């Protein structure tokens, strides 16, 4: 069983950009209810299917599988809930941990979030100067909720 423990923060300023290169992500949801999320995603030219369980604190079950890119694009275009999530992801290493910064486009243009994946909820880590308010427990910032209530409508 896969388990994911991550914390999510708003990003402030542009200092994070100096050490980051973006990769294009396109993702949509076949199911976006809180008890189970089923996501289809393309990262550059690769396709993925991800199933996530309900979040408890900062932890939830997660299973991810490679799927043919052609299948992923067809699911995104024809079956997934709309609007799709469009973003660039930047990976910034800090010690033995990595921050993933998501810069959103389309209906969520202007939103920039950072996530850090941890081994446990009480793991200590250093917070960079470009990290703002923590939004880990705020469901508005879940990608699966950004299709129902895009950032531009807030």
Residue numbers annotated as active site: 29
Q: How far apart (Å, rounded) are the C-alpha atoms in residues 114 and 124?
A: 16
- Give the containing element (helix H, strand E) for 48: strand 46-53
CA distances to 4, 31, 88, 128, 132 from 113, in Å: 17, 22, 11, 13, 9
Q: Is the peptide bond before 63 cis (omega within 30 degrees of 0)?
A: no
Phi, psi at residue 74, to the nearest 5°?
-65, -45
């Amino acid at each position: 069983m896969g388990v994911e423990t991550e914390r999510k923060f708003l990003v402030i300023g542009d200092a994070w950009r100096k050490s980051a290169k973006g990769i294009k992500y396109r993702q949509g949801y076949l199911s976006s209810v809180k008890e189970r999320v089923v996501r289809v995603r393309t990262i550059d030219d690769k396709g993925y299917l991800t199933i996530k369980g309900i979040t408890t604190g900062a932890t939830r079950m997660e299973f991810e599988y490679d799927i043919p890119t052609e299948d992923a694009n067809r699911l995104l275009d024809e079956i997934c809930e709309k609007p799709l999530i469009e973003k660039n992801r930047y990976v910034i290493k800090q010690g033995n941990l990595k921050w993933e910064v998501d810069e959103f486009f389309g209906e969520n243009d202007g939103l920039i979030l950072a996530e850090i994946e941890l081994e446990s909820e009480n793991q200590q880590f250093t917070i960079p100067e470009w990290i703002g308010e923590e939004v880990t427990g705020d469901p508005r910032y879940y990608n699966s909720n950004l299709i129902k209530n895009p950032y531009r409508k807030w």
